[in-house]
Copies of this chain bind each other. A is one copy, B any other.
Amino acid sequence: MPTYKLTYFPIKGLAEPIRFILSYGGVDFVDDRFDREDWPKLKPSMPFGQVPVLEIDGKKINQSTAIARYLAKQFGIAGKDDWEAMEIDASVATIDDFRNKIGAWHYETEPAAKALKEGILFKETIPYYLEKLDEQVKKNGGYFVGGAVTWADLTFVALLDYINFMAKGDILEKYENLKQLRARVLELPKIKAWIEKRPQTDY
């Protein structure tokens, strides 16, 4: 069994999908959370100055989605063939686009640019994505792809606290199929056990 050490800020953020997948896979991992004040010192040692970084048997790898896909393959939740793997990849990329659009508003520091983004985000972008994602889950038997749990479902649910924090509210309120998907993932025994033992943070 390889050893896993995951390094990130002391939040859920972009590391939580990896923590969900490792937990789903039933493997132990070192959940290395550094203090925010130590980040400037750590940053130069990280590939492309970013985290999360996963060490597998001491080898550092970066890019959260690449890490998540690799782990999902090891644990059998990356699709039953190349076509399903692609559908999962496309779903994860769409979830990433969605998160980035919310982040582009949340992290905007120029007031005029922020105001411009806010109207479009809440009136158009968020409902547009959620309606389509809700419909996709409805069509696929309660999951994003193939009627069974994949790393697309784990990724979406793991990111929700961070997305809701940025959007300042529960974005799923009106979306029944996505709400049911969330409940279904949070009830998976290994995910439930992870949530009970993980450090409590808002996002």
Contact = CB atoms under 8 A, between A and B. Distances in A.
Interface of A: 47-49, 61-63, 65-67, 69-70, 73-74, 82-83, 85-87, 89-90, 93-94, 97, 100, 104, 108-110, 112-113, 116, 128-129, 132
B89 A69 contact: yes
A93 B52 CA distance: 13
Contacts of A67: 86, 90
A128 B44 CA distance: 11
B63 A89 contact: yes
A63 B112 contact: no
Contact of A65 (B62, B74, B93): B93
7 contacts: A47-B90, A49-B128, A61-B87, A63-B90, A65-B93, A109-B113, A113-B113
Contacts of A129: 48
Contacts of A73: 82
A94 B128 contact: no
Contacts of A93: 63, 65-66
A73 B66 CA distance: 15
A170 B70 CA distance: 34
B112 A86 contact: no
A47 B90 CA distance: 10
A62 B49 contact: no
A88 to B, nearest CB: 8
